[in-house]
Amino acid sequence: MLGSGRLDGRTAVITGGCSGIGLATVRRFAAEGAHVVIGDLDDGCGPGIAGEVDGAYVHCDVTDAAEVEELFATAHDRYGSVDIAFNNAGISPPDDASILDTGIEAWRRVQEVNLTSVYLCCKAVLPYMREQQRGSIINTASFVAVMGAATSQISYSASKGGVLAMSRELGVQFAREGIRVNALCPGPVNTPLLRELFATDPDRAARRLVHIPLGRFAEPEEIASAVLFLASDDSSFITASQFLVDGGICGAYVTPL
Ligand X SMILES: NC(=O)c1ccc[n+]([C@@H]2O[C@H](COP(=O)([O-])OP(=O)(O)OC[C@H]3O[C@@H](n4cnc5c(N)ncnc54)[C@H](O)[C@@H]3O)[C@@H](O)[C@H]2O)c1
| Interface positions with ligand X (CB under 6 A) | 15-16, 18-22, 40-42, 60-63, 88-92, 113, 140, 142, 186, 188-189, 191-194
Instruction: Report the nearest approach of ligand X to the CB of residue 34 (Å).
Output: 19
Position 168: which residue type? R
Q: How far is CA 97 from CA 5, 124, 204, in A?
A: 42, 31, 13
Nearer to ligand X, 11 or 15 (CB): 15
Sign of the four-CA dihedral 145, 146, 147, 150: positive
Position 16: which residue type? G
Instruction: Report the nearest approach of ligand X to the CB of residue 190 (Å).
Output: 8
Active-site positions? Answer: 156
Position 191: which residue type? T
Instruction: Report the nearest approach of ligand X to the CB of residue 168 (Å).
Output: 17
Instruction: Report the nearest approach of ligand X to the CB of residue 22 (Å).
Output: 5
Nearer to ligand X, 171 or 220 (CB): 220
Which positions ≥6 away from 168 have C-beta within 8 Å? 181, 183, 240, 241, 242
Beta strands, E only, the chain = 11-15, 35-40, 56-59, 84-87, 135-140, 179-186, 242-245
Nearer to ligand X, 22 or 55 (CB): 22
Are 48 and 19 within 8 A, CB to CB? Answer: no
